[in-house]
Amino acid sequence: MKQSTLFKIASQSILKNKMRTLLTMLGIVIGIASVIVMVAVGNGAQSQIQAQINSLGTNLIVVTPGATTAGGVNQGQGTFSRLTTEDYDRLKSQGTTLSAVSPVVVTRTQVITPSGNWRTSVNGVSTDYFTIRDWNPTSGAPFTDDDVRAKRRVVLLGATVAQNMFPGADPTGQQVQLGRSPFTVIGVLARKGQTASGTDQDDVVIVPWSTAEERLSGRTFLAQILASARAPDAIAAAQEEVRAIMRESHGIGNPSQDDFTVRDQTAIAEAASSTSRVMSGLLAAIASISLLVGGIGIMNIMLVSVTERTREIGIRMAVGARGGDVLTQFLVESLVMSLLGGLIGLLAGYGGAALLGRLTGWATVTPPSAVIMAVGFSAAVGIFFGYYPARKAASLNPIQALRYE
């Protein structure tokens, strides 16, 4: 029997019982749509996490205070800082794998303007900070090395601070008061958004570290030191170099006695992405149960169809149709229903992912591989669950089939 004839007969059989065909495909439609939505949400979460990690900086390496022990009791990481400007100077001058290094002096204070006040975090940094964080002003300009050396009272406002203190206006050139000291606003930083932990990166003001140390914090120790490796593949080597320089600076011979911690964003990104992948896989696996249910529904309907069309099968065999022709006919019917259900489910999945993203604000990304997977899986379900009914139809005895009432 010609393939075109088989498809024609299969299509006629499917269209003859439209409601039953629609209900049969429903399980496949729901299953494919659910998988597409779950994959889109999972991939969107991964891309959002990666964007948040990337917003932290370029090839970022962070040096923070380590743990200290008092009276034989470990006080925990960061309880006592021994990071100094001398450490920063050494890393700056001796680091061969580092493209930029910046100290970070952190304190909190009130930003006072004629329109009100806003309590926020103040970061005292060097000019390299803007390169490390890949963070440039949308208006104005960053401060210079001369500003750092002269300890000038200049400030860059984060987008959140600028929006609340100077709504609808460019504050560049305006005077603000940080604590008790007047500062001149020289620019507004580009919006960074939230970190993976939910911290608003734009709720901050940036000043020269020398000014922050003298005018605002009153402390001689640094909260952290930020550095940037020259290239992504040099991050591991850069971390080892940073550790070696820091141990020499602190007179540490045994690595187990390090009073500092060196880390990069790679581990954070991998951990976050791994968690997202596991959750996406779990959700997709749960959604795939609908495909199994849909496949069982197709098999049941095809078995019913074989029973209803036993006499028809007998007539076809009596006029020359072979068992393989009958097998192919029923497989084609099953495959067509599965593919139609898969295509409808694909459209529903795309629409559902877009709607979910619009209603919740979540990022949704549907990769091309999900489309291939959806179509391929629906075809596989049709063949797998349609084979048994088709085989049963092909194995019928023509004489018994003709006598069937």
Residues 250 and 384 in one domain: no
Distance CA 369, CA 231 (A): 31
Residues 105 and 148 in one domain: yes
The answer to whether position 68 is within a domain reads no
The answer to whether position 263 is within a domain reads no
The answer to whether position 69 is within a domain reads no
Contact 175, 182 (CB under 8 A): yes
The answer to whether position 58 is within a domain reads no
Reported as type and span, the H/E element at residue 105 is strand 98-113
Q: What pLDDT does 243 receive?
A: 94
Alpha carbon distances (Å) from 190 to 107, 123, 282: 21, 16, 37
Residues 41 and 104 in one domain: no
Q: What pLDDT does 272 receive?
A: 61
Q: What pLDDT does 128 receive?
A: 95
Q: What pLDDT does 232 receive?
A: 82
Structural domain of 345? 3-52+270-403
Contact 158, 203 (CB under 8 A): yes
- Domain final position from 258, 284, 319: 258
Cα 288 from chain centre: 22
Residues 240 and 276 in one domain: no
End-to-end C-alpha distance for the chain, whole angstroms:
26
Per-residue pLDDT of the chain (405 residues; tens, 9 = 90+): 556 666 676 667 667 777 777 777 787 888 788 888 877 887 777 776 666 666 566 688 999 987 554 444 444 444 456 799 999 999 999 999 999 999 999 999 999 998 889 999 999 999 999 999 889 999 999 999 999 999 999 999 999 999 999 998 999 999 999 988 999 999 999 998 876 566 888 999 999 999 999 888 777 789 999 999 988 888 889 999 999 999 999 988 888 888 899 988 766 666 666 666 676 667 667 666 767 777 777 787 777 777 777 777 777 777 667 777 777 777 777 788 888 888 888 888 888 888 888 887 777 877 777 777 777 777 787 778 777 777 777 777 766 656 655
Q: What pLDDT does 394 receive?
A: 75
Residues 343 and 251 in one domain: no
Q: What pLDDT does 336 receive?
A: 80
The answer to whether position 61 is within a domain reads no
Residues 6+ apart with CB under 8 A from 318: 398, 402
Residues 127 and 203 in one domain: yes
Cα 190 from chain centre: 22
Query: What is the pTM (predicted TM-score) of this model?
Result: 0.60
Query: For the chain, how many structural domains are there in total?
Result: 2
Residues 6+ apart with CB under 8 A from 133: 56, 57, 58, 60, 226
Residues 160 and 284 in one domain: no
Residues 216 and 319 in one domain: no
Residues 145 and 23 in one domain: no
Q: What pLDDT does 238 receive?
A: 92
The answer to whether position 75 is within a domain reads no
Residues 224 and 155 in one domain: yes
Residues 89 and 236 in one domain: yes
Residues 163 and 133 in one domain: yes
Contact 14, 333 (CB under 8 A): yes
- Domain final position from 236, 258, 280: 258
Contact 300, 392 (CB under 8 A): no
- Domain final position from 232, 258, 284: 258
Q: What pLDDT does 187 receive?
A: 95
The answer to whether position 70 is within a domain reads no
The answer to whether position 57 is within a domain reads no
